[in-house]
Amino acid sequence: MSRELCHQQEALWELLTTELIYVRKLKIMTDLLAAGLLNLQRVGLLTEVSAETLFGNVPSLIRAHRSFWEEVLGPTLEETRASGQPLDPVSLQNGFLSFSQRFQPYILYCLRVKQTMAYAWEQQDSSPLFHTFVQWCEKHKRSGRQTLGDLLIKPHQRITKYPLLLQAVRKRSPEARAREALTAMIAAVESFLRHINKRVRQGEEQESLVAAARRIGPYEVLEPPSEEVEKNLRPFSTLDLMAPMLGVASEHTRQLLLEGPVRMKEGREGKLDVYLFLFSDVLLVTKTLRRADKAKVIRPPLMLEKLVCRPLRDPSSFLLIHLTEFQCVSSALTVHCPRATDRALWLEKTQQAQVALQKLKAEECIQQKRELLALYQDRDRESPGPRPSTPSTEGSESSTEGSNCRTPESSTVIPQLVVTEDTDEDAPSVPDDTSDSGYGTLVPGSPKASHFPPNRLRSRAFRRDPRLTFSTLDLRDVPLHPLPPDPQAPQRRSTPELPEESVQKGGSLPRGDPPTSSEEEDGTSVGENVVVENLHRARLRGQLSPSPTHTDSAGESPWDSSGDEEEEEPFLGPGYSPSPHPLRAEDMLREIREELASQRIESVPEPGDSRPRKLTRVQLQRMRGLHVVHLDTPLSTSEV
């Protein structure tokens, strides 16, 4: 082997040998100290000493290292002995990349190591019998001259030594492949150590906060005028400093930054000796109690985010201004420090606390936004259905996808209303060849499509007479054809869905039967037939006052009929007599088309040949009943 390779093997061998030595030292704590203490407790000695508090979770550490040796270090050593080749650091990569999962018990042990050592010293000082037992264990031949304090601190030292051992191996590894693997291993171990340090720091901060909270006594910011008032104020006269800070991640703990005695003046009152506590997010004004080592809160807590500090001309004084949510003054306190250096320290610490608090709140706000964005993205991936959008010419999906509802009992398609977009009254608008603006759908263009001029009086007519539009209640009795969705159908505009109970299953829209004799006599239309009702409205408007001309954007009727019926003669019905003032056919049909085009039932299947069905004269007469529409030209519809 080369000199560099020899140094690499020496570093790897140090990693292996120190691992075995460390596990043996852990066994000293369990097999000698813990076992001896438990044996004495069985005979009634040292029962006041807690073995669990003294040794913690050392058995869990032993199991973790035994598994690490059997699965990572041991197989590498056995392979080297079997093949006669040098130790390969790359074979350790998978084991060290899972370092944080393998050595989770170290988090709990490092959190308790200070308390454990303090407990051990306390028991030795208070119990002579326990002190004698510890001396006997330290002199035992199996202890290896290790003291109890040395053994308790060994796990903390070992876990922090792994990066140094790996760095020594990387420093002596000439191959790029081995160096890359060792770099990844070092990064994994250091990441776990940073996590442990973070948890330890949080634990220390929590202990410090507990100690500070114990020093703060009652909350007496008001003087109740009576016992009844005091009784009602009592539930709200407690201050919980252990509660998390508002607007900050829970991992950050409130800390005591500065404390000290000062003299305070509020308004025109005299100066008062107080004791200030500056925490990470709040400033407390307290007064020291004489008979107890505690301080009671005499002013409401001053939140740092609403606090303004201003130095005064007096070199040892400064002003505290507390603001409300409206950035108005809530209270103002003049603080007189013992020395000018004390004032500078209070101002500096307060400003630093405000900056740190603002930074923590900004980080938490950004984190919440990221979590919310991730939540929306996950929901989008779970429900990949298309969102409501405008029609697209590249509509290869089903026209009913995303806008139709199907019940589990049947495949009946529930209709929806499509509200068309009105064009500007003054701007000219001509429908293109690929869209039908009256229906709000996309249909194949046709050279035979007829285009009518835009209707500028439509919005005025609707404002004058709101009955020109359909009501959703008129569609409750409209049956439907349960047909599977057509994947080649163009996409339709999505609109709000009708309630399921307002839709009946069935066939297509009703064509309208001839009205009964009673209906012919009183001149009313059939309530269940929407077309007859609108024909009746159009007839009434034509007789009472001239209405503006309404045209369909497509200029065609959406009602269907067979092509053979177009040549039949109109059915006038028994007892027919023409109206003395017949309404013009063009005006009546245009108004009907306008109203039908403004409200569209989606998901009604189109004919198989993709051509709109036609309305014949015979069907028109059957729907009108008493009156006849005289047509100057044959009624026909062109393709849409």
Task: Evaluate if residue 426 carries a pLDDT over 60.
Answer: no
Residue 111's pLDDT band (cuts 50, 70, 90)? very high
3-state secondary structure 475-533: HCCCCCCCCCCCCCCCCCCCCCECCHHHCCCCCCCCCCCCCCHHHHHHCCCCCCCHHHH
- Residue 408 vs residues 324, 382, 405, 411: alpha-carbon distances, Å: 57, 21, 10, 7
Position 590 scores a pLDDT of: 73
Position 486 scores a pLDDT of: 54
Task: Evaluate if residue 258 carries a pLDDT over 50.
Answer: yes
d(CA 100, CA 303): 39
- Asked which of 12-16, 229-233, 376-380 is least confident by mean pLDDT, the reply is 376-380
Burial class (CB in 10 A: 0-12, 13-18, 19+), 173: buried
- Residue 3 vs residues 6, 9, 10, 170, 295: alpha-carbon distances, Å: 5, 10, 11, 15, 69
Higher pLDDT, residue 113 or 436 = 113
Position 539 scores a pLDDT of: 63
- Asked which of 111-125, 304-318, 403-417 is least confident by mean pLDDT, the reply is 403-417
Helical packing angle, 3-28 and 148-171, nearest 10°: 160
d(CA 635, CA 585): 10
- Residue 19 vs residues 13, 74, 622: alpha-carbon distances, Å: 10, 11, 100
563 in helix, strand or coil? helix
Segment 589-595 mean pLDDT: 71
Task: Evaluate if residue 447 carries a pLDDT over 90.
Answer: no
Position 13 scores a pLDDT of: 95
DSSP letter, residue 586: H
Instruction: Give me the phi and psi of 256, to 5 degrees please.
Output: -85, 115
Position 599 scores a pLDDT of: 54
Residue 251's pLDDT band (cuts 50, 70, 90)? confident
Segment 554-562 mean pLDDT: 42
Task: Evaluate if residue 354 carries a pLDDT over 50.
Answer: yes
**Both tokens of residue 347?**
């101002």
d(CA 155, CA 26): 8
Contact in structure between 474 and 583 (CB atoms under 8 Å): no
Q: Per mean pLDDT, which of 163-167, 590-594, 607-611, 613-617 is the most reliable?
A: 163-167
**pLDDT tens digits for range 149-160:** 999 999 999 999
Residue 377's pLDDT band (cuts 50, 70, 90)? confident
Contact in structure between 438 and 454 (CB atoms under 8 Å): no
d(CA 37, CA 50): 9
Segment 409-437 mean pLDDT: 41
Residue 94's pLDDT band (cuts 50, 70, 90)? very high
Q: Measure the CA dihedral 209/214/220/226, to 10°.
A: 140
16 in helix, strand or coil? helix
Position 107 scores a pLDDT of: 95
Instruction: Give me the phi and psi of 633, to 5 degrees please.
Output: -130, 155
Task: Evaluate if residue 453 carries a pLDDT over 50.
Answer: no
**Both tokens of residue 419?**
């509200």
**pLDDT tens digits for range 466-480:** 444 444 444 444 444
d(CA 272, CA 43): 62
Contact in structure between 392 and 434 (CB atoms under 8 Å): no
Higher pLDDT, residue 240 or 481 = 240
**pLDDT tens digits for range 24-78:** 999 999 999 999 999 999 999 999 999 999 998 999 999 999 999 999 999 999 9
Contact in structure between 585 and 535 (CB atoms under 8 Å): no
Higher pLDDT, residue 529 or 116 = 116
> Can you list the alpha helix ranges (DSSP code H) found in 523-581?
530-544
**Both tokens of residue 115?**
């308390």
d(CA 102, CA 499): 57
As a whole-number percent, the residues of the chain with pLDDT over 90 amount to 49
As a whole-number percent, the residues of the chain with pLDDT over 70 amount to 60
Residue 594's pLDDT band (cuts 50, 70, 90)? confident
Position 281 scores a pLDDT of: 94
Question: Which residue type occupies 517?
Answer: S
Instruction: Give me the phi and psi of 321, to 5 degrees please.
Output: -115, 120
- Residue 40 vs residues 33, 45, 48, 59, 120: alpha-carbon distances, Å: 11, 5, 11, 20, 17
Position 381 scores a pLDDT of: 79
Q: Measure the CA dihedral 432/434/436/440, to 10°.
A: -110
257 in helix, strand or coil? strand
**pLDDT tens digits for range 486-545:** 555 554 444 444 444 444 444 444 444 444 444 444 444 444 455 556 666 666 655 544
| Residues, the chain | 640
Question: Residue 38, Cβ neighbours under 10 Å: how many?
Answer: 11
Residue 144's pLDDT band (cuts 50, 70, 90)? confident
Residue 269's pLDDT band (cuts 50, 70, 90)? confident
Task: Evaluate if residue 175 carries a pLDDT over 80.
Answer: yes
- Asked which of 327-331, 452-456, 589-593, 615-619 is least confident by mean pLDDT, the reply is 452-456
d(CA 205, CA 280): 11
Segment 421-441 mean pLDDT: 41
Average pLDDT value for the chain:
74
Element (H, E) at 279: strand 272-279
First to last CA, the chain: 87
**Both tokens of residue 65?**
């290292």
Higher pLDDT, residue 290 or 370 = 370
Name residues whose C-beta falls within 8 Å of residue 134's C-beta, 6 or more positions apart in sequence.
33, 124, 148
- In sequence order, what DSSP letters do the residues of 189-237 get, joined into one string? HHHHHHHHHHHHHHHHHHHHHHHHHHHEEEE-----SSHHHHHHHGGG-
Burial class (CB in 10 A: 0-12, 13-18, 19+), 577: exposed
Task: Evaluate if residue 638 carries a pLDDT over 80.
Answer: no
**pLDDT tens digits for range 179-199:** 999 999 999 999 999 999 999
